[in-house]
Amino acid sequence: MTASVARRPARADDAETIAEIWRQGWRDGHLGHVPQELVDIRTEASFATRSLERIPDATVATVDGAVVGFIMVVDDEVEQVYVSSGARGTGVADELMREAERQVRTNGHTEAWLAVVAGNGRARAFYERAGWVDEGTFDYAAAASAAAETGTIAVPCRRYTKRVAD
């Protein structure tokens, strides 16, 4: 079943919903696959703070007016891609990825990249079906807090790339 998906720039009043989708999705894909140090600081409050701070980078997907997923694109990186558990398998993620690729192109890049935790098989399979190429392992520097100047935590990931323009 394919949902009728609309997308729009995120607004401040979306932050609470984004935080919940992000927290649940992050836990689904990351627990058991990332350093415990990162798990310890990814609290409910941290997702609330980060989602509000990142509204300018976010685009949301809606179905019948309700936010069901979001992306965050920075420069050539598709930094965050999350869909609520109830909207998985409905085409929402496909729509969000098309929009992320468009944004990277609009940012002046011919290739997009993203990081995915190696153990997140569901996400890796999705990206590969969407034409993304696994370029291998690397350590992603995850912000230790909302204020990145407080340091980073190295997270073992796979780097995926996709050509988005000629």
> Can you give the pLDDT at residue 144?
74
Alpha helix ranges (H) inside the chain: 15-30, 36-41, 44-53, 92-106, 121-129
Task: Report, as an integer, the average pLDDT of 129-139.
Answer: 95
Kind of pairing between the strands at 133-143 and 111-117? unpaired
Quote the domain boundaries for residue 9.
5-163
Structural domain count, the chain: 1
Model pLDDT for residues 87-99, shown as the tens digit of each residue: 887 788 999 999 9
Report long-range pairs for 9-16 (Cβ below 8 Å, ≥24 apart). Answer: 9/58, 9/59, 9/60, 10/55, 10/58, 10/59, 10/60, 10/70, 11/55, 12/52, 12/55, 14/55, 14/58, 14/60, 14/67, 14/70, 15/48, 15/51, 15/52, 15/55, 16/48, 16/51
pLDDT given for residue 2 in this prediction: 55
Q: Please report the pLDDT score of residue 115 as a whole number.
A: 96
Q: Report how far residue 132's alpha carbon sits from residue 144's, in angstroms, rounded to the nearest whole number.
A: 27
Q: Which two tokens stand for residue 86?
A: 């109830």
Average of per-residue pLDDT across 134-142? 93
Closest-CA residue to 15 (of 43, 47, 42): 47
Q: What is the pTM for the complete model shown?
A: 0.90
Q: Domain with 125 in it: what CATH number?
A: 3.40.630.30
Q: Is the pLDDT of residue 147 over 60?
A: no
Q: What is the pLDDT of residues 26-81, one digit of tens each?
A: 998 888 899 888 888 898 999 999 999 999 999 999 998 999 999 999 999 999 99
If you average pLDDT over every residue of the chain, what do you get? 90
% of residues, the chain, pLDDT over 70 = 95
The share of the chain scoring above pLDDT 90, in percent, equals 67
The widest CA-to-CA distance across the chain, in whole angstroms, is 44
Task: Indicate whether 145 pLDDT > 70.
Answer: no
pLDDT of residue 1: 46
**C-alpha to C-alpha distance for 61 and 83, rounded to whole angstroms:** 9
